[in-house]
Each structure stands twice: as C-alpha cells, then as structure tokens.
Amino acid sequence: MTAPSTTGNRLNKSHRLSIAGVTAAAAAALTFSLIPGNASAEGSGKAVAASTSASTSTAPVAFNSTTGGTQAAAIQKSLAKQHSMADRIAEIHAKQDSAEAKAKAKAKSDAKADAKEEAAAKAKKRAAAKEKANRSADRKPTYANNLNGWIKEALHIMKKEKIPGTYEGLHRNIMRESSGDPKAINNWDINAKNGVPSIGLLQVIKPTFDTYHVKGTPHSQYHPVANIVAAANYAADRYGSIDNVDSAY
C-alpha cells in the first residue's frame, strides 16, 4: 500500500501560518492607525485598549486615518495575492496527483491485461497439446503389408485385448506352420479329412477361429492379422501364451 501524500497537508499548514502572520501584521497596523499622531504614551495605551476592545465588538470600526486605510488595503491585497498563489499551487499539486493516479490505474490495467493475455495463451497451448494427443491416440498406426507388418499389427491388437505373446513366439510358430504364407491350407491331416482344414499363417481350423476370433478384425481365416490374433487367443487359453507353443497345437 502506498503511503498517503503529505504535500497537501504541508501546503495547508504553511498557508495557515502565512495567513496568520499577515493577519497579525494587519491587526497591528490597523491598531496603530487608530492612534492619533499627537497622543501621549498613556493616551496610546488607552487607545490600544480601546482598539482591542473594539476589535472584539460586533460594532463596525470606522477608520478616520487615511494612512491606516491605505495600509489595510495593501494588507488585504497581499492576503488576496497569497490566497491566489496558494490556491494555484494547490491546483497544480491536485493535477499532479490526478496524473499520478491515472498513471497508476493505467499500469494496473495494463498488468491485468497482460496477465489475462498470458493466461489465454497458456490455455490455448494446453488445448492444442490436448487436441494433438487425442489425434495421436485416435490415429491408427500403419503397418507394412508383409509378415513383419502383420505380426506387429497383431501384437498391437493383442496388447489392447490383453492377449499374451511376443514377436519371437508368433514368428517362430508362423514359420513352422505356414512358412509365412497367409493362403496356406492343409488338405491332408485329420482336420482336413473331417472337413475343417487348417488355414492361414497359424493353421487355424474354422471352429477354433470362430470361437477365438477377436472383435474388430475381419472374420476370415485367410486374413493374416485376424488369423494370428485368433490363434494367439486360443494358445493363451490353452497353453498360457503362443510363446509356449513349439509344435502342432
């Protein structure tokens, strides 16, 4: 908090002292102007007493002396001039105080505006970062259309579905079952003789594929990613993980 200015108080005090001094001088001059020039000391004392008594009376005082009236007029003129100067100084200081108050108010307003602008910029930056994160989360990763890409995409889905398995486990079993051919089909084993041949990268029969198919993948045994995820889901249920499979399953 800023300490209140004492300039106005000092001016008022000086002003009062000045006026008081001049008023005293005026009173003295007026008193002596009432004393006749040929009066004795004793008479002067009586005149002073009479003058003092008259100054406190409500009756008007008549000035018969030309010299006294001139002095009183000069004193009144001086008082009026000093009043005018004091008022002018007070006016100047009032204008300065007003200018300072306006400057402080403007600085405060500018500070608030800057703080508001900074807060808005930070909020905009946070919103942009959040939007970018959401776009990144919603954006589906792209994978190569080959065995490496199929395994990576399958692992991405398996992670979301909490199906265990690693790249090594999937790749090892795929190479043993189909040599990496998504169109591979077994037409000679017992499953084929029963009318449900093993199909795809991990050689899954249709009943198993239908039971362990993962929603969101194509419902086709020949689809490489759907085949891998369904087989890994089946292996997790029966063996704990596709990584634990080392032969026909």
d(CA 74, CA 77): 5
For residue 83, CA distances in Å to 5, 15, 88, 103, 189 come to 22, 8, 8, 30, 124
216 torsion bin: left (phi>0), alpha (psi -120 to 50), beta (else):
left
- Domain extents in the chain: 7-55+64-136, 147-244
- As beta bridge partners, residue 204 has 199
Task: Please say whether the beta carbons of 190 and 178 come within 8 A.
Answer: no
Distance of CA 66 to the CA centre of its chain: 78
Task: Please say whether the beta carbons of 206 and 227 come within 8 A.
Answer: no
The Cα angle at residue 198 between residues 196 and 199, in degrees rounded to 5: 115
Q: What is the pLDDT along the chain (249 residues), one digit of tens a residue?
A: 444 444 444 445 554 544 455 455 555 544 444 444 444 434 444 443 444 444 444 444 444 456 667 888 888 888 888 888 888 898 899 899 988 899 999 998 999 899 998 999 999 999 999 888 877 766 778 999 999 999 999 999 999 999 999 999 999 999 999 999 999 999 999 999 999 999 999 999 999 999 999 999 999 999 999 999 999 999 999 999 999 999 888
d(CA 169, CA 29): 122
Best CA proximity match to 207, nearest among 230, 226, 225, 224 = 230
Residue 130 φ/ψ, nearest 5 degrees: -65, -40
CATH 1.10.530.10 fits 147-244, yes or no: yes
- Residues 6 or more apart whose Cβ sits within 8 Å of residue 211: 234
d(CA 167, CA 148): 9
d(CA 26, CA 30): 6
**What's the first-to-final CA gap in the chain, in angstroms?**
83
Position 185 scores a pLDDT of 97
Q: Is 102 helix (H, G, I), strand (E, B) or coil?
A: helix
- Residues 6 or more apart whose Cβ sits within 8 Å of residue 35: 44, 47, 48, 51
Position 235 scores a pLDDT of 98
pTM above 0.75, yes or no: no
Residue 190 φ/ψ, nearest 5 degrees: -65, -35
d(CA 66, CA 22): 20
- Residues 6 or more apart whose Cβ sits within 8 Å of residue 237: 212
Task: For the beta carbon of residue 8, count every other beta carbon within 10 angstroms.
Answer: 13
